[in-house]
């Protein structure tokens, strides 16, 4: 019990608060510099004798350096900023999970900022995070404010984009192979006999993944060989009636066949399922459905929801991995890493019987 700091007047038991490097130095009878050297360069430049003395003192005081002070001095904080468009979206959470794990393993901590789907706060988020000296960003954001981003990049902080691309941005990009995944789903519906297809997504709002999926859908249905007819619908969260009408119109168009629906994420899938319930249509009988994102509940909704599974954990882990590589100094032009989706065929896309 060597160190007594009585600054806080009423210090009671020995050390109030954490031990500092000065405490350790005093305890070991050496200078702060020596302690710092022991901690950072252990092997080089240290006599065996002193090394052990410091080691003992560190252990005795249960000392560990203050990351705050280190950050101030070194300019590096061992912090990674994660900006998420919407923690409510299962996809975001899954990515978060993968990223958090990879960061922890690499000794980084995550600072979280949730946009709650409010794109206007993107800049706020990035600024708050930069203020805390985060060393880099993992962004799964709306992408309205490329300026804020460019700003982060200018500060030399590496950025990894997940799922949502910002075109004018020099950054690694990790995402599902949207085009491939859409084809997977659409072709599945086609093979099951659905000929009149509807792609339902959230309002585009410049979100690249939505746009890419919609474009891939249009491309697929317009291939003459496909023998399909397709259209798209943007479903606003509060516009249930609009979605109902869109589905009714789809069915009308499908007069001679069965209508099939492809949804762009789990949130929309649920909206469509709700709408179908209102309309009284049976999944896999009156209408075929394939949705993005394979949630744990997908197998149990109706006859089982057919989905396109995203390797979410992978995505998160890879995103974090890319960032950490950059933090370790990797110099490379921006990479694009696209992972394939997997079709999980279930009852909702049973072969259409006319």
Partner DNA sequence: TTGTAAGCGTTATCAA
Partner DNA sequence: TTGATAACGCTTACAA
- CB-based contacts of 276: which residues, under 8 Å, 6+ apart? 247, 283, 286, 287, 289
Q: Which of 274, 107, 106, 87 is nearest to 97 (CA)?
A: 87
49 binds DNA (CB under 7 A): yes
Identity of the residue, 70 or 114, whose beta carbon is nearer to DNA in the bound complex: 70
14 binds DNA (CB under 7 A): no
- 3-state DSSP assignment of residue 61: helix
Question: Which one of residues 3, 36, 114, 350 is an interface residue with DNA (CB under 7 A)?
Answer: 36
Tokens of 335: 């990479």
Residues that bind its own copies (CB under 8 A): 17-18, 64, 66-69, 71-72, 77, 79, 82, 87-88, 93, 96-97, 100-101, 104, 109-114, 116, 127-133, 155, 270, 273-274, 277, 295-297, 299-302
Q: Give which of DNA, its own copies, none residue 222 binds (C-beta under 5 to 8 Å, depending on kind).
A: none
Q: Give which of DNA, its own copies, none residue 50 binds (C-beta under 5 to 8 Å, depending on kind).
A: DNA
Tell me the per-residue interface mask from 56 to 95 with DNA, x by CB under 7 A, - otherwise.
-------xxxx--xx-xxx---------------------
CB environment 175-185: b (16+ within 10 A), e (fewer) = bbbbbebbbbb
Phi and psi for 345 in degrees, rounded to 5?
-80, 130
**Dihedral sign for Cα atoms in the order 296, 298, 303, 305:** negative
Q: Whole-number minimum distance, CB 26 to DNA, in Å?
A: 11
Question: Which one of residues 39, 60, 146, 226 is an interface residue with DNA (CB under 7 A)?
Answer: 39
Tokens of 31: 């200078």
d(CA 82, CA 113): 6
Question: Which one of residues 3, 30, 239, 248 is an interface residue with DNA (CB under 7 A)?
Answer: 30
DSSP letter at 229 equals E
Tokens of 35: 């302690």
45 binds DNA (CB under 7 A): yes
Q: Give which of its own copies, DNA, none residue 37 binds (C-beta under 5 to 8 Å, depending on kind).
A: DNA
Tokens of 290: 């394939």
Q: Give which of its own copies, DNA, none residue 348 binds (C-beta under 5 to 8 Å, depending on kind).
A: none
Instruction: Specify whether the CB–CB gap between 92 and 86 falls below 8 A.
Output: yes
Identity of the residue, 20 or 310, whose beta carbon is nearer to DNA in the bound complex: 20
Q: State the maximum Cα–Cα separation within the chain, in Å, rounded to a whole number.
A: 90
- 3-state DSSP assignment of residue 305: coil
Q: Give which of its own copies, DNA, none residue 33 binds (C-beta under 5 to 8 Å, depending on kind).
A: DNA
d(CA 345, CA 354): 20
Question: Please, which of residues 295-314 interact with DNA by CB under 7 A?
Answer: none
Q: Which stretch binds DNA (CB under 7 A): 22-30, 219-227, 266-274, 334-342?
A: 22-30
Q: Give which of its own copies, DNA, none residue 297 binds (C-beta under 5 to 8 Å, depending on kind).
A: its own copies
Please name the residue ranges forming H helices in 145-257.
146-154, 178-191, 208-222, 240-253
Residues that bind DNA (CB under 7 A): 7, 17-18, 20-22, 29-34, 36-37, 39-40, 45-47, 49-51, 63-66, 69-70, 72-74
């Amino acid at each position: 019990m060597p160190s007594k700091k009585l600054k806080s007047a009423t210090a009671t038991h020995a050390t109030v608060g954490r031990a500092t490097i000065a405490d350790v130095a005093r305890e070991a009878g050496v200078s702060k510099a020596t302690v710092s050297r022991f901690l950072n360069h252990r092997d080089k430049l240290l006599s065996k004798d002193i090394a052990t003395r410091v080691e003992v003192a560190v252990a005795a005081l249960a000392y560990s350096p203050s990351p705050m002070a280190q950050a101030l001095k070194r300019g590096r904080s061992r912090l990674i900023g994660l900006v998420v468009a919407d923690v409510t979206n299962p996809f975001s959470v899954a990515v978060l999970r993968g990223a958090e794990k990879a960061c922890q393993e690499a000794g980084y901590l995550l600072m979280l900022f949730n946009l709650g789907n409010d794109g206007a706060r993107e800049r706020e988020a990035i600024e708050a995070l930069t203020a805390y000296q985060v060393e880099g960003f993992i962004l799964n954001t709306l992408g309205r404010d490329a300026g804020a981003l460019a700003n982060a990049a200018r500060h030399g902080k590496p950025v990894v984009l997940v799922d949502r691309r910002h075109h004018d941005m020099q950054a690694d990009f990790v995402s599902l192979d949207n085009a491939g995944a859409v084809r997977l789903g659409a072709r599945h519906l086609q093979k099951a006999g659905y000929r009149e297809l509807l792609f339902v997504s959230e309002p585009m709002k410049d979100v690249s993944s939505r746009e890419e999926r919609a474009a891939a859908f249009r491309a697929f249905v317009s291939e003459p060989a496909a023998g399909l007819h397709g259209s798209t619908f943007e479903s606003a969260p509060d516009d249930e009636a609009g979605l109902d009408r869109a589905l009714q119109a789809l069915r009308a168009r499908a007069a001679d066949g069965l209508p099939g629906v492809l949804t762009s994420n789990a949130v929309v899938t649920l909206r469509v399922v709700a709408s179908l319930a209102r309309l009284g249509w049976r999944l896999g009988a009156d209408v075929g459905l394939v949705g993005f994102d394979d949630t744990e509940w997908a197998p149990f909704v109706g006859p089982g929801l057919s989905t396109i599974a995203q390797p979410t954990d992978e995505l998160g882990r890879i995103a974090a991995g890319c960032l950490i590589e950059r933090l370790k100094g990797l110099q490379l032009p921006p990479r694009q890493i696209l992972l394939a989706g997997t079709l999980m065929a279930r009852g909702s896309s049973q072969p259409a019987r006319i």
